[in-house]
Amino acid sequence: MERHLKNLRAALAQVFAYPSYIALAGALATLAFLLAVWLPNLGLIADVFFGSNAPLAAKLNIALSLLGGIGTNFSPLSAGYTIAIAVLFGITAAMIVYLLKQRRVAAAGQNIALGSGAVASGVVGIGCAACGSLILGGLVPFVGAAGALALLPLNGAEFGILSVALLFVSLLLISKTIAEPVTCPLARSENAHQP
């Protein structure tokens, strides 16, 4: 574990030495956070912005005030993992972009697959934040989703926790790829030290 954390520190230092990656990670984390908090009310936001004649400032105020839902519509646990998912998603995505820029497509591809699974799990977890699942509710018959979630000890928060775990694993794997790049070692020879 110590080695993984060392790799993580080294990779973070390497990637975020560039301000552009800090900006990218920040932008993606913010975007993920906004989507997570607005998720239950995306229809309302669309209705306010495109179906109302109110001034733009009033529309923006409504959208911004809905962000306060992180405090009122999320339990401390779900608010915690929602923020963690957003931050980890931003960092992981920025590091994947770094790998792609280094033309290490194979390593980036594996992490994109893992990251996608984490994000999907996170979406379900965030959807379960309030009473009843907002995401599954649209996929399975009405309230059947809530029934399925009731079987879980944390009523669906498990998906959010799983998402954080997957994103963290993905981050460790990317860090390893960045900090310990696969190289062909030089063959030892008898006279290797001779000029």
Q: Name which of residues 108 to 127 contact another protein (CB under 8 A).
A: none
Q: Name which of residues 119 to 178 contact another protein (CB under 8 A).
A: 130-134, 137-138, 142-143, 145-147, 149-150, 155
Please report how close the Cβ of residue 11 comes to another protein at its closest, in angstroms.
37
Q: Name which of residues 66 to 85 contact another protein (CB under 8 A).
A: 66, 68-69, 71-73, 75
- Where do we find the tokens 């301000």? 19
Pair 111, 156: CB distance under 8 Å: no
How crowded is residue 143: how many other Cβ atoms within 10 Å of its Cβ? 11
Pair 115, 164: CB distance under 8 Å: no
* Integer Cα distance of 54 and 66 in angstroms: 17
Give me the 26-45 binding string for another protein, x by CB under 8 A, dash otherwise: --------------xx-xx-
Pair 108, 95: CB distance under 8 Å: no
* Integer Cα distance of 114 and 85 in angstroms: 14
How crowded is residue 155: how many other Cβ atoms within 10 Å of its Cβ? 17
Which H/E stretch holds residue 174? helix 157-179
Check residue 65 for interaction with another protein (CB under 8 A).
yes
Please report how close the Cβ of residue 21 comes to another protein at its closest, in angstroms.
31
Pair 85, 126: CB distance under 8 Å: yes
Q: Binding residues for another protein, how many (CB under 8 A)?
A: 38
By beta-carbon proximity to another protein, the closer residue of 65 and 189 is 65
By beta-carbon proximity to another protein, the closer residue of 23 and 143 is 143
Please report how close the Cβ of residue 167 comes to another protein at its closest, in angstroms.
24
User: Applying CB under 8 A, which residues contact another protein?
Assistant: 40-41, 43-44, 46-48, 50-54, 58, 61-62, 65-66, 68-69, 71-73, 75, 130-134, 137-138, 142-143, 145-147, 149-150, 155
